[in-house]
């Protein structure tokens, strides 16, 4: 299946995408992860996007469109993929549509993860990520067994600089202004499936399975 996981930052779509990707072997393509890795390695791309990311701003459309197109040319995506954090603007969605239709690889569904703003702020400010494998934890809802260490690989856990409360609130405003128009964009195409994302990780996972007909 060719899928998009759409929703506000911190709504839990990355966690779900990782779970589905490891169960079904569809690559999980997170533009945020790709960009963070570029920043960490201080590549030319990383140096160009660092200040946008730290301020909670979107990076320019053309940069991220090129990254995704290149990734979707890789053969491991031919059997299916999960896009997480892309598209985030109507321009990105239109570029993706044009690319996929030129390759005759249409989208199967766009899952829209919904939760209240306060729930999202709580989730994001308590989120911790593994520096080595990218696994995601939450200090209250999903704490690691050993504080500061990843259960899966033993790597160090850290708080993303853009998960501080002030930046989180700014990211949510950017999301409202730039990304919410995609809800009607995909609704009009008959692709949108709504997911109530407020429950537990396992509860949301079952819900998504049911929606995709995989239960």
Active-site annotation, residues: 13, 88, 127, 160, 171
Q: How far is the CB of 194 from ligand AMP (least distance, A)?
A: 20
Applying CB under 6 A, among 7, 12, 85, 134 the residue interacting with ligand AMP is: 85
Check residue 55 and report its DSSP letter.
T
Q: Is 53 in the site for ligand AMP (CB under 6 A)?
A: yes
Token digits of residue 63: 């940069």
* Strands (E) located in the chain: 2-7, 28-30, 81-84, 109-114, 127-130, 136-138, 157-158, 192-196
Q: How far is the CB of 23 from ligand AMP (least distance, A)?
A: 21
Nearer CB in complex with ligand AMP: 126/215: 126
Token digits of residue 166: 């002030």
The SS3 assignment for 192 reads strand
Residues 6+ apart with CB under 8 A from 160: 36, 127, 129
Check residue 176 and report its DSSP letter.
I
Stretch near ligand AMP under the rule CB under 6 A, chosen from 58-66, 71-79, 181-189, 199-207: 58-66
Q: Is 52 in the site for ligand AMP (CB under 6 A)?
A: yes
Binding site for ligand AMP (CB under 6 A): 9, 31-32, 35, 52-53, 56-59, 64, 85-86, 88, 92, 162, 171
């Amino acid at each position: 299946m060719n899928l998009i996981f759409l929703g506000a930052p911190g709504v839990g779509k990355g966690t779900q995408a990782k779970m589905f990707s490891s169960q079904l072997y569809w690559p999980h393509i997170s533009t945020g992860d790709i960009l963070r890795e570029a920043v960490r390695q201080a590549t030319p791309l990383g140096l160009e996007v660092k200040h946008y990311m730290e301020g909670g701003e979107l990076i320019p459309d053309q940069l991220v469109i090129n990254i995704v197109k290149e990734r979707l040319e890789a053969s491991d995506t031919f059997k299916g993929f999960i896009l997480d954090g892309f598209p985030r603007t109507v321009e990105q969605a239109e570029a993706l549509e044009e690319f996929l239709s030129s390759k005759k690889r249409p989208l199967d569904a766009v899952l829209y993860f919904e939760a209240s703003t306060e729930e999202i702020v709580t989730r994001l400010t308590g989120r911790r990520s593994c520096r080595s494998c990218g696994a995601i934890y939450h200090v209250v809802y999903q704490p690691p067994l050993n504080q500061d260490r990843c259960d899966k690989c033993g790597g160090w856990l850290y708080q993303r600089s853009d998960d501080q409360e002030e930046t989180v609130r700014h990211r949510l405003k950017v999301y409202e202004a730039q990304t919410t128009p995609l809800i009607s964009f995909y609704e009009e195409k008959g692709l949108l499936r709504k997911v109530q994302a407020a429950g537990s990780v396992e509860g949301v996972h079952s819900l998504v399975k049911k929606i995709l007909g995989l239960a």
